[in-house]
Every structure is written in structure tokens, then in C-alpha cells.
Amino acid sequence: MRWLGKVEEAAASWDAEYARGRYAGEPPVPFTEDIVQAAKRAGLHDGIYLGCGSGRNLVPMIEAGLDLIGLDISATAIEQLVARVPDRRDRLVVGDLSALPADRRYDLVIALQVLQHGTRADTHALLEDASERVAPGGLFCVRLNAVGTDLGHAADVVERHEDGSFSVLYREGPKAGLTVHFWAAAELHHEALAAGLEPVLRPRPHSTWRPDGRSQWMQFEAIYRRPS
């Protein structure tokens, strides 16, 4: 695969986060309902969820009728997920896209809050690799960090682009030492079209206020389709 980030470093960081209880007991993001509805409208059920974490979104989508393979580089996340849905053990994988058969394409490719780890170039390459996995007629469903987010922890901006997007290297907090990209809507749309996809739901912002009520973080949510 062409993801240029430090996979082992990211996996260790996420392992520590899940061990501290990240996402435990959290409800799914409402966008999962849009994904399930879009899949049903298109008559699609099977696919992959890249960066499924410990399952706050994966489990409800499975319960709603989707048959998804869950992939995550964090062994701790997958362990927690297997404990939650042991009957899905053979469909939960520690790894990234390279863990899948190289020539397999899927009706549904879902990537929620994962196509944001690394620099602009890293995340564009990851989006391209993930979107290549979408079968003709299939759906590509993404939720990713958006410009407009108030950074919650100390970070250095390491790059800015004229489209408004930027990447930061966190100095503090759970992502200390990791580089994270904040996408512009036009950037996401451009990359999806360049990957040969057509829009079903154009990038829309979704803002969540942090518990202290003083700042918010924003994500773009979008659904694209690979023409048949």
C-alpha cells in the first residue's frame, strides 16, 4: 500500500487510546444511518469498513443488515471488537488495506475518521487506495476531519494549501507525535471525482461541540458511487 505514514507508530498510539477506553460506550455517529439507507436504496449489503476501531459504528451497521469486514491497524481495538461480537471474529482484521486480497473490489467501502492520518499527500494516497476498492456500482462512504475544526490540543501547522486545507503535528494530547490532515470540502470532492467516482451526497459539514462547550470539531461526510 502507498500510505506513507508510520503505521507502527500510529497503531501503538491507537492501542494506547483504546486501552484507555476511547469510544467505549459511545453511540454511533448519525451518518451511519445515511450509509445504511444509501446502501439499501442501491440494493447493496457487503463491503469493508477501514479503520473500524472498537465498533461503535460497525456494530450498528451490521445490526442494520450490512455484512462488513472490519479492518483496523490497532490490535487492541480489534480485540475489544471481537469481545463485543465474537461471532464476527473471522470478519475482523488487524491491518490496513494491504491485508485484503489485492484484486478484490467491494460493493461498500466505508472509511469513517480514518482518511485523515498523515500529511495531505498521505491522506490523498489513502483515499485513492481505498476508493480503488469500490466495485462498479458500489458506494464509497467517508467521514473525515474538516477545516473549521478548533484544534483541541497544542499542535504545529506543518503545511497549508491554497484550497484551505492544512496538516498539523500534535505536540500534546492523545495524538502527540502524529500528523493529521484537515480537509477542505472542495479538496475532498476533487479527489473523489479524480478517482472516477460520482457524488451521491456531496461533502457536508457536521460539527460536534466538545464536552466543555468551548470549542467544536468538524467533519465532512460524503457518499460517492463508482459508475457501473
Ligand X SMILES: C[S@@+](CC[C@H](N)C(=O)[O-])C[C@H]1O[C@@H](n2cnc3c(N)ncnc32)[C@H](O)[C@@H]1O
Range 117-176, binding ligand X (CB under 6 A): 117
Smaller CB separation from ligand X, 71 or 109: 71
Smaller CB separation from ligand X, 117 or 189: 117
**From candidates 34, 35, 39, 57, binder to ligand X by CB under 6 A:** 57
Smaller CB separation from ligand X, 126 or 162: 126
Closest separation in Å from C-beta 193 to ligand X: 23
Smaller CB separation from ligand X, 19 or 228: 19
Range 33-52, binding ligand X (CB under 6 A): 50-52
181 φ/ψ angles, rounded to the nearest 5 degrees: -105, 140
- Where does 113-215 show beta strands of DSSP type E? 134-145, 155-160, 166-170, 179-182, 198-209
Determine the size of the site formed for ligand X (CB under 6 A).
20
Closest separation in Å from C-beta 15 to ligand X: 8
> What is the pattern of x (binds ligand X, CB under 6 A) and - over residues 78-117?
------------------x---------------xxx--x
How far CA 152 is from CA of 3, 124, 155, 228, in Å, comes to 25, 24, 9, 42
- The residue assigned the cell 467501502 is 109
Smaller CB separation from ligand X, 9 or 198: 9
Torsion, CA 205, CA 117, CA 52, CA 83, rounded to 10: -130
| CB atoms closer than 10 angstroms to residue 25 | 6
d(CA 31, CA 49): 14
Range 3-22, binding ligand X (CB under 6 A): 3, 10, 14
Find how far residue 199's CA is from the centre of its chain: 18
Task: By CB under 6 A, tell whether 71 contacts ligand X.
Answer: yes
Residue type, 19: A
Cβ contact 225:197 at 8 Å: yes
Smaller CB separation from ligand X, 53 or 138: 53
Question: Which spans of this chain sit near ligand X (rule: CB under 6 A)?
Answer: 3, 10, 14, 23, 50-53, 56-57, 71-74, 77, 96, 112-114, 117
